[in-house]
Structures are given as C-alpha cells and as structure tokens.
Amino acid sequence: MRVPALIAAWSLFFVALPTFAQDLPYAKKVVDTLTSPEYWGRGYLHNGMGHAADYIANELKILGVKPLRGTNYFQNFEYSINTFPGKVEVKLNGTPLVPGLDYLVTADSSGRKATSTLIPQASGAYQSADGYIYVTKVKKLTFDAAGRAEVKPTTMIQLNQARITAKPETIEVNIENIINDHFKAKNLAAIIPGTENPDKYLVVSAHYDHLGGLGDYAYFPGANDNASGVAFLLNLAKYYQAHPQKMSIVFLFFAGEEAGLIGSKYFVEHPLIDLKKIRFLINFDMVGTGDTGITAVNATVFPTEFDILKATNAALPASEALAQVGSRGEAANSDHYFFTRAGVPAFFIYTMGGIAAYHDIFDQSSTLPYTKFETLFKLTTKFHEKLAQ
C-alpha cells in the first residue's frame, strides 16, 4: 500500500528531524540516586564507590550499551587512601561541634584522642600545646582526598567562621583514621560501535567517585562533582544507542579522580583501546550549572576543535546558546590530563556560575540547577557530528 504523497513527505520530515532530545528527568534520577545516603559520597566507607560502580553498570546494561572489552564494564585497580571510618568528634571550648557544618577534619590528617588548650599563632591559626592539633577558621569548609604519602602526623581542623564566632581556647578531639593502602576501585568502560569507522573513537569521560564521608556522621553528596557528569554520559549513552554514529563512541567512568586522577592515569597506562585511534576525548566534570557558560581546558592546545566548539555554540538559537565558551590552557585538574600527556586530543569541559557548593556537604541534588545541561548536550552531539565528518 502506498501512502498519499503529502503524508509521506511529512513522515519523512519527522524521521529526518534531528532529535537532540535530552532526557532531563533521567539525568535528575541518576543524580538523585548517586547522591543518596546509600552511596555515602561515592567514597571509602559503606562501599559507597562500589555501589556507584554497580549502579552505573546496571544503567549501561539497561540502555543496551556493551562493555568496551570482555564480558563486564570493569577495569580494576587499587590505591592508598586515608579514611575516617570511626569516631569523628570535636568539642571546642567544651561545646560539641557538628561535622560538615561547624567543622571538618582535613583529608590529610591523622586521627587523635586528646584534650588541649589552644595557643594563637602569628598566622591566625591555633595550635595545641603539644603541637599536634592545628585549628584554623575558614570562610568555606572544603574536604579532599589523600593517600598515605600526603597524610601528616598532625590533626588539622577547619572551623566554619560563620558559625563559630567564639575565640578557640580549648579543644577536645576524638578522631579515628585508617589508611587503607589497598583500596579496591574500578573504572567502567563501554562502547557503542561506529557504523562506518568502528576503529576510530570519540571518547566521553566523567569521574563517578567523590570524597565519601566521615564515619556515620556526614557525607559529601557530590551532585555537581561529579554525579552531574555521570548523568551527562548516561544521557549521551541513551542518545547514541538510538543514534549510532560513524565513529565508535566510548564511555569511560573513572574512579579515584578526587584522590589524584588515579583511575584515568591507570586507564592511560593500561588502555583498553589504541589511544592513537581516539579522534577526540571530552571529559565532563561539574556540568550541573552554566549561568555564565562553560570553560574548555586545553582550548589553546587544540585551537581547531575549539573553533568548532565555539562555532557550534554560536549557531544555536540565542535563547539556548551558552553565554560564553571560555578558553583555558593545559591543566592537571581532571581526568583528561593523562590522556593529553599521552598525546590524545582532549578537552575538559565544566560549566560556570550558579552554586558555590564544592567538596562540602552542600553539593546536593536538590540544589543542582542543571541550567545549561540541555544546551551542553546539544553542543556535544553536534560537535561530535562535525568531528566525524
């Protein structure tokens, strides 16, 4: 049976219409899940990072995206990490403080059980009489991750100056740390084979680990850093599974980023594909905002691709386009770095503006704005199309 010409023309039109539909509800579900207490900041306690790896693997499986090599998505490795699995208690001038809100112990601290008077230092900090506890008032509490080599013999306490107005005079700490020299982590790697050039790769990457938590007291949800990037990659996976490209699309979800780009370094040293066949890699880390646009690290190293990225943005309707596509040079600030050092052309893209939460308990799903999430999605798929031409 033949369809009337007019209808046929319309159905062709609809089929040919480029569908850049970005599934924002799905992205939000991913971020909600990965930032929930069950994942405990995707770190070192309560198997948070392991649960996150299993969750991502399951999502990839549901989407029908295949493992890059072998029968599962995982690439295993291990590293050293300082953890605070037990007591994390601080009393200042006799008053108990709330971890995460009033204070943080720094990631490179040793544990300690002690009571001491505090002596003001010329720097404005305070030191216990025995010299083993340092206390500083800060504008913003910021946690991090540290391996054995970075751990100091001292206990370093940050006090939130907005909440702690009293002059520090005495301190009582009961903080337990354990250095785990063989923390087991895994990267995840998946592929959607290209239809014309399957042995050429467009790689997208994002780290899924974050900082974990402090005992059962507090955890760092890491919504923007970097559940947002994971959600972005899973959305790309969903899209490319329905719209395979000429080149293969490779998805890399890294562990150990916060502890020093350990997962991506491991992948570069033990690559599951020929790194020379990567046409371009884009690493997404903190992409949940965008009021003032995006920044591309390595823009000055790869000016041709950066021009394509800028032109792609300029061609978007003004209501959607990014306010700015900022340019930076090389920087060892996320998982693109060791790829760049190995000669792989790469950008690291992050969004700018919006929330100030970073490496603290406030980087939460409920306040992540997703301001330019959809625009960045369009930009990425169009950029990929141009590179594959």
Q: Helix/strand/coil (H, E, C) string of 198-258?
A: EEEEEEEEEECCCCCEECCCEECCCHHHHHHHHHHHHHHHHHHHHCCCCEEEEEEEECCCC
Binding mask 173-202 for Zn ion (x = CB under 5 A): ------------------------------
209 interacts with Zn ion by CB under 5 A:
no
Region of residue 93 (phi > 0: left; psi between -120 and 50: alpha; otherwise: beta): left
For position 374 contacting Zn ion by CB under 5 A, the verdict is no
Of 102 and 258, nearer to Zn ion (C-beta) is 258
* Bridge partner residues of 207 (DSSP): 254
If you search the block for the tokens 């990839």, which residue do you land on?
60
Q: Which is nearer to Zn ion, 257 or 305 (CB)?
A: 257
- Output the smallest distance, CB 221 to Zn ion, in A: 12
CB of 230 to Zn ion, least distance (A): 13
Q: Applying CB under 5 A, what is the total number of residues that bind Zn ion? A: 2
Residue that the structure tokens 């978007």 belong to: 316
Residue 259 CB, shortest distance to Zn ion, in Å, is 10
Q: Does 108 bind Zn ion (CB under 5 A)?
A: no
Does the protein bind Zn ion through residue 335 (CB under 5 A)? no
The answer to the question of residue 225 lying near Zn ion (CB under 5 A) is: yes
Minimum CB distance to Zn ion smaller for 41 or for 345: 41
CA-wise closest residue to 341 among 264, 257, 273, 233:
264
From 115-123, 151-159, 222-230, 381-389, give the range in contact with Zn ion by CB under 5 A.
Answer: 222-230
Complex with Zn ion: residue 202 or 357, whichever CB lies closer:
357
CB of 312 to Zn ion, least distance (A): 27
Please return the burial class of 291, using the count of CB atoms within 10 Å of its CB with bins 0-12, 13-18 and 19+.
middle
Q: Collect all residues with Cβ–Cβ distance below 8 Å to 287 and sequence separation of at least 6.
A: 224, 228, 229, 232, 294, 349, 350, 351, 373, 376
Please tell me the distance from the alpha carbon of residue 135 to that of residue 157, in angstroms, as a whole number: 5
Residue 283: its H or E element: strand 278-284
| Best CA proximity match to 20, nearest among 384, 388, 387, 389 | 384
Shortest Å distance, C-beta 123 to Zn ion? 27
Distance CA 366, CA 40 (A): 16
- Six-digit token pair at 88? 């994390």
Task: Using the rule CB under 5 A, give the single segment among 15-23, 127-135, 257-265, 331-339 that binds Zn ion.
Answer: 257-265
What CA–CA distance (Å, rounded) separates 277 from 65?
Answer: 20
Q: Looking at 168-176, 228-236, 251-259, 315-323, which segment touches Zn ion (CB under 5 A)?
A: 251-259
Task: Name residues contacting Zn ion, limited to 296-325 (CB under 5 A).
Answer: none
Residue whose CB is less far from Zn ion, 97 or 141: 141
To Zn ion, the closest distance from the beta carbon of 385 in angstroms equals 30
| Beta carbon nearer to Zn ion, 108 or 225 | 225
Shortest gap between Cβ of 269 and Zn ion (angstroms)?
A: 22
The least CB distance from residue 284 to Zn ion, in Å, is: 13
By CB atoms closer than 10 A (0-12, 13-18, 19+), residue 270 is exposed
**Considering only 6-14, 175-183, 218-226, 260-268, which stretch makes contact with Zn ion by CB under 5 A?**
218-226
Closer CB to Zn ion, residue 59 or residue 225?
A: 225
- 327 or 333: CB nearest Zn ion: 333
Residue number with CB closer to Zn ion (59 or 257): 257
Task: Tell me the β-bridge partners of 219.
Answer: 213
Q: In the bound complex, which residue of the shown chain has the CB atom lying closest to Zn ion?
A: 225
Give me the least distance between CB of 210 and Zn ion, in Å please.
7
Which positions lie near Zn ion, rule CB under 5 A? 225, 258
